[in-house]
Structure 1
Amino acid sequence: MRRKLATAAGALLAMAASVFAAPATAQAADPAPGFHVEDGRLLDANGNDFVLRGVNHAHAWYPDRTGRALADIKALGANSVRVVLSTGDRWTKNGTADVAAVVERCKANRLVCVLEAHDTTGYGEQDGAVSLSRAVDYWIEVQQAVKGQEKYVILNLGNEPHGNSGYTAWTADTSNAISRMRTAGFEHTLMADAPNWGQDWAFTMRDNAPGVFAADPRRNTVFSIHMYGVYDTAAEVRDYLNRFVSRGLPLVVGEFGDAHSDGNPDEDAIMAAAEESGLGYLGWSWSGNGGGVEYLDMATDFDASRLTTWGKRLFDGPHGIKRTAREASVFGTGGGDTRAPTAPGTPAASAVTSSGVRLTWAAATDNTAVTAYDVVRVHAAQETQVTTTTTNSAAVSGLTASTAYTFAVYARDAAGNRSPRSATVSVTTASGPSTGKCAVTYRLSDWGSVFNADVTVRNTGTQEIKGWQLDFAFPGSQTLNSAWNAKVVQQGTQLRATNESWTETIPAGGAVSFGLNGSSTGANGIPAAFSLNGVTCAKS
């Protein structure tokens, strides 16, 4: 997997996340045949506003996983996927036939396909990286695979096309690449990644985007910022996004994560600000990360039933994909499906335990097909989504013993239309224990003066653990710098980690993970012991 180098601005990147708002400038004389930018927005071929809500998938490295991955990504609610392709300069080439097959798989799963050439990553700094000009050569070579697919495909010229050396050439290089693509006959919406390994900490893209957009004769280019450690505060996130929105420039968050070795990106702010501004985002990445950034996997070993903490946050959390994604209207009929399903039947409760319940309901009906059901908890005048399923039953876990809950269900179709809410059902959980046995894995990545630790807490008991506190001690002279997916404090050598809201529950037989970044002045190692909620855990 790709590794990014330390920068003078303190941005150390390892693996390489989007909807748009575009400038209110004159449009091309001839309308685009597919996606197009108009008055600061990305519109689909039917003229409907479209906001990207999806993830990245590393097809170039895992081509045999793509079919299943796209189906799973769609089933989890995404409306788009950014697909890694190789020009053949650094990795095995994805040729015309392969690219055409990827496009067909995207369409079969009703996903907008953002195709990107990855070999440009870190050009000028990364050994073997190629220029945007070389990426254009590749697009021309595989043009037949995407010609006529402008309604379904967006072309991302090149991933992170400049590192932290020579990045001032980004403006001319990007303008020239766009010009060559148009001369070659590409009518697609084009996406331009930022320099500085995608993070634009020197603001080259931010300050020069108006000129680059104006240089596109079709006025159909959108810009993509990758948000990792440079964007570790809400103020930085909002300032960058708002600079584009205020000028009517099209922007996407083409990559982002919930953690990184160069700092802890504020994924909550990224997702919230994107939704507030009507901008899209594409999280990095579905599965298969390496090079020390395995924590960016959303699904463990490409298994959609084993979402990681990051995957659960992106799909199920506030401002997440399930709650905000809307399918592109080009996948409907007659300009898009706008008819909502009927309301599901009243849920019936069974298998009530101290921590969970199974709900079943009569299926909803729709003019096309019901694709998912959203189960919500109703409390006071508010609703909280607790799970999504493709069948008319669901197991709800993470409940507190001896507590009353009220649930209801919505149905959704493939176009994202949501039904009226079902009638509610009230359930009181049984009494019982909330903690069980535990095991902890502490995986250390040590670079001498700095280190990362990936900590996995497993519940080996038969009852879920709701709310947790993990106590342990550094083995030497280590200092905590930051943490993600848990709140961690240090006193002397002792550390205490407590759950975030999205890592609160550890199911029976399940696990949660969190990460640490620290500094070390001596020998490092694995903590000698771990205690979860006062119970000593096994080390694994």
Structure 2
Amino acid sequence: MKKMLSVAGAALLTVLAAVFAFGQPAHAAAGFSVAGGKLYDANGTEFVMRGVNHAHTWYPQQTSSFANIKALGANTVRVVLASGDRWTKNSAADVANVISLCRANRLICVLEVHDTTGYGEQSGAITLDRAVDYWLSIAGALQGQEKYVIVNIGNEPYGNQGYGTWATDTANAIKRLRAGGLTHTIMVDAPNWGQDWSFTMRDNAGSVFAADPQKNTVFSIHMYGVFDTAAEITDYLGRFRTAGLPIVVGEFGFNHSDGNPDEDTILAYSQANGIGYLGWSWSGNGGGVEYLDMVTNFDPNQLTNWGQRIFNGANGIKATAREASVFAGTSPSPTTSPTTSPSPTTSPTGGPTPPPAGCTASYTIVNSWQGGFQGEVKVTAGAAAITGWTTKWTFANGQTVSQSWNATVSNSGSAYTARNVDYNGRLGAGASTSFGFIGSWNGSNAVPAVTCTAS
């Protein structure tokens, strides 16, 4: 369940002070491992999460959900557990059964403790240290399952208050888990109700990663109303890619009480850049966010609009999920690009028979005021993946650009050129990215035609 947030508008993002580089770690007890910002299964095969969240702790009788989630194409399920502090404790036996259900359905299990949600702001929320107590108390159910289980220490630790100790607390929690004998890949959530609008996780991820003796930690960002523009999404995820740090979108929706997330960009950018995503959530939502149910009453035959989008839409689960190679049986998976198959939510920028390669671009005035404006250009790959792009346009009314983000912008008089930066040049077929800029105008501000050239 999600809590309504009250978040200030995000400012223009600043450049990371340093880029972190980490070598290839040894596989942890023949389980998952991290190298170069990517997640690898026990066979050394790259694994990209494509799945959903399931509120097991509140609906423990809904065990058929695992098979139903798998049948719709997912390769991962993030399972809500409770430590017993806020909700009824999930015992070691229950957790062992959850893992067996995941394995039987060839799903990777991401297990998370939900009692930490909103610590410092939410009454009754527990610390990460207390969550570690829970994990160590059920260690017997986890050990030996390193090939199939990822341990997500605590859901959305810290609300919008008191989050300054997130890095220290997270690093200490990781070290306690390692000292307690857990060698699994560990996932850590961002503060600020998971959305990291303060950039606390973003700016401290390198030190937290380095604190893990096994260098086997994945970072999880939750994307709701804070991430309502393509620029915010691509910049945040792109900085982790540039730093060589593993990032997953651990939760996101198509709408939320704190704003309207740009789910199309989340899906497209994740697919284009090999980033895992886990949508919220299968069924059973309450507290005013019932619209985030993917199916009605846990019935897989009653997909909601959100369920149709994430499972069957462009860059969705069915088209992009690849089963973990550690499972002996492999279900058929598509070999074509996800966005080439028909979808009711396919971007209208391409016709029914798009060109074999290349890209297109569209120009939008996002906001305008006397003498100034904010512009955005959306770049979309054609029917084949591209490794870079260049857009060009010419202002007809003397407009000028004073600052930009997510692109390198230059000009010769009124003719402007914008090229991708290192983290958003690679786009899968049909995938999109955006860049923005601040400009000035006087008299009129006509929208210019924009061309796009792929490389």
* TM-score normalised by length of structure 2: 0.71
User: Tell me, what secondary structure is at the counterpart of 1:312?
Assistant: helix
Describe the superposition over 1:490-521 as per-residue Cα deviations: whole angstroms up to 9, x where unpaired. xxxxxxxxxxxxxxxxxxxxxxxxxxxxxxxx
Letter in 2 for 1:238: T
User: Tell me, what secondary structure is at the counterpart of 2:244?
Assistant: coil
Task: Identify which of 47, 52, 55 aligns with 2:44.
Answer: 47
By how many angstroms is 1:68 displaced?
A: 1.0
* TM-score normalised by length of structure 1: 0.60
Instruction: Report % sequence identity.
Output: 64
Letter in 2 for 1:40: G
User: Tell me, what secondary structure is at the counterpart of 2:341?
Assistant: strand
1:91 equivalent in alignment to 2:91: no
User: Tell me, what secondary structure is at the counterpart of 1:292?
Assistant: coil
Q: Closer, same or farther in 2 for the Cα pair 1:332/1:165, shift >3 Å? A: same
Task: Identify which of 183, 190, 197 aligns with 1:194.
Answer: 190
User: Which residue number in structure 2 is paired with residue 292 of structure 1?
Assistant: 288
1:308 equivalent in alignment to 2:304: yes
- Contact 1:34–1:150 (CA<8 Å) still a contact in 2? yes
User: Tell me, what secondary structure is at the counterpart of 2:255?
Assistant: coil
Aligned residue pair count: 338
By how many angstroms is 1:372 displaced?
A: 8.1
Task: Identify which of 246, 251, 255 aligns with 1:255.
Answer: 251
Letter in 1 for 2:218: V
By how many angstroms is 1:325 displaced?
A: 0.2
CA distance in 1, matches of 2:40, 2:53: 21
By how many angstroms is 1:206 displaced?
A: 0.2
1:132 equivalent in alignment to 2:128: yes
User: Which residue number in structure 1 is paired with residue 60 of structure 2?
Assistant: 63
By how many angstroms is 1:9 displaced?
A: 1.9
User: Tell me, what secondary structure is at the counterpart of 1:252?
Assistant: strand
Describe the superposition over 1:443-493 as per-residue Cα deviations: whole angstroms up to 9, x where unpaired. xxxxxxxxxxxxxxxxxxxxxxxxxxxxxxxxxxxxxxxxxxxxxxxxxxx
Describe the superposition over 1:393-423 as per-residue Cα deviations: whole angstroms up to 9, x where unpaired. xxxxxxxxxxxx9xxxxxxxxxxxxxxxxxx
- Which runs of structure 2 are paired with 1:79-478 in the superposition (5 Å)? 79-332=75-328, 384-385=341-342
User: Tell me, what secondary structure is at the counterpart of 2:61?
Assistant: helix
Q: Closer, same or farther in 2 for the Cα pair 1:292/1:220, shift >3 Å? A: same
User: Which residue number in structure 1 is paired with residue 8 of structure 2?
Assistant: 9
CA distance in 2, matches of 1:3, 1:79: 24
Letter in 1 for 2:180: A
- Contact 1:23–1:250 (CA<8 Å) still a contact in 2? no
CA distance in 1, matches of 2:20, 2:81: 29
- Contact 2:22–2:36 (CA<8 Å) still a contact in 1? yes
Letter in 2 for 1:155: V
Letter in 2 for 1:101: N
- Contact 1:77–1:321 (CA<8 Å) still a contact in 2? yes
- Contact 1:28–1:217 (CA<8 Å) still a contact in 2? no
Describe the superposition over 1:147-196 as per-residue Cα deviations: whole angstroms up to 9, x where unpaired. 00000000000000110111111000000000000000100000000000
By how many angstroms is 1:39 displaced?
A: 2.0
Describe the superposition over 1:212-255 as per-residue Cα deviations: whole angstroms up to 9, x where unpaired. 00110000000000000000000100000000000100000000
Describe the superposition over 1:7-35 as per-residue Cα deviations: whole angstroms up to 9, x where unpaired. 35269xxxxxxxxxx96413446754200
- Contact 1:40–1:248 (CA<8 Å) still a contact in 2? yes
Higher CA-based Rg: 1
CA distance in 1, matches of 2:226, 2:298: 28
- Contact 2:5–2:257 (CA<8 Å) still a contact in 1? no
CA distance in 2, matches of 1:213, 1:267: 28
User: Tell me, what secondary structure is at the counterpart of 1:329?
Assistant: coil
By how many angstroms is 1:374 displaced?
A: 11
Letter in 1 for 2:105: N
User: Tell me, what secondary structure is at the counterpart of 1:64?
Assistant: coil
Structure 1 unaligned residues grouped into runs of 5+ = 12-21, 338-369, 377-381, 388-404, 406-540
Q: Closer, same or farther in 2 for the Cα pair 1:24/1:330, shift >3 Å? A: farther
User: Tell me, what secondary structure is at the counterpart of 1:200?
Assistant: coil
Q: Closer, same or farther in 2 for the Cα pair 1:208/1:76, shift >3 Å? A: same
- Contact 1:79–1:110 (CA<8 Å) still a contact in 2? yes
By how many angstroms is 1:94 displaced?
A: 0.2
Task: Identify which of 21, 30, 33 aligns with 2:30.
Answer: 33
CA distance in 2, matches of 1:313, 1:70: 19
Q: Closer, same or farther in 2 for the Cα pair 1:267/1:217, shift >3 Å? A: same
Letter in 2 for 1:25: F
By how many angstroms is 1:6 displaced?
A: 3.7
By how many angstroms is 1:383 displaced?
A: 5.1
CA distance in 1, matches of 2:184, 2:318: 27
- Contact 2:73–2:321 (CA<8 Å) still a contact in 1? yes
Q: Which has the higher contact order (CA 8 A, sep 6+)?
A: 2
By how many angstroms is 1:384 displaced?
A: 2.8
Describe the superposition over 1:311-358 as per-residue Cα deviations: whole angstroms up to 9, x where unpaired. 00000000000110000000027xxx5xxxxxxxxxxxxxxxxxxxxx
By how many angstroms is 1:40 displaced?
A: 1.8
Letter in 2 for 1:61: W
Q: Closer, same or farther in 2 for the Cα pair 1:30/1:83, shift >3 Å? A: closer
CA distance in 2, matches of 1:316, 1:154: 26
Q: Closer, same or farther in 2 for the Cα pair 1:293/1:103, shift >3 Å? A: same
- Contact 1:50–1:328 (CA<8 Å) still a contact in 2? yes
- Contact 2:25–2:34 (CA<8 Å) still a contact in 1? no
- Contact 2:321–2:333 (CA<8 Å) still a contact in 1? no
- Contact 1:27–1:218 (CA<8 Å) still a contact in 2? no
Structure 2 unaligned residues grouped into runs of 5+ = 11-18, 345-351, 353-455
By how many angstroms is 1:49 displaced?
A: 0.3
- Contact 1:191–1:223 (CA<8 Å) still a contact in 2? yes
Q: Closer, same or farther in 2 for the Cα pair 1:225/1:375, shift >3 Å? A: closer
By how many angstroms is 1:61 displaced?
A: 0.2
Q: Closer, same or farther in 2 for the Cα pair 1:72/1:283, shift >3 Å? A: same
Q: Tell me how large the CA RMSD over aligned residues is.
A: 2.5
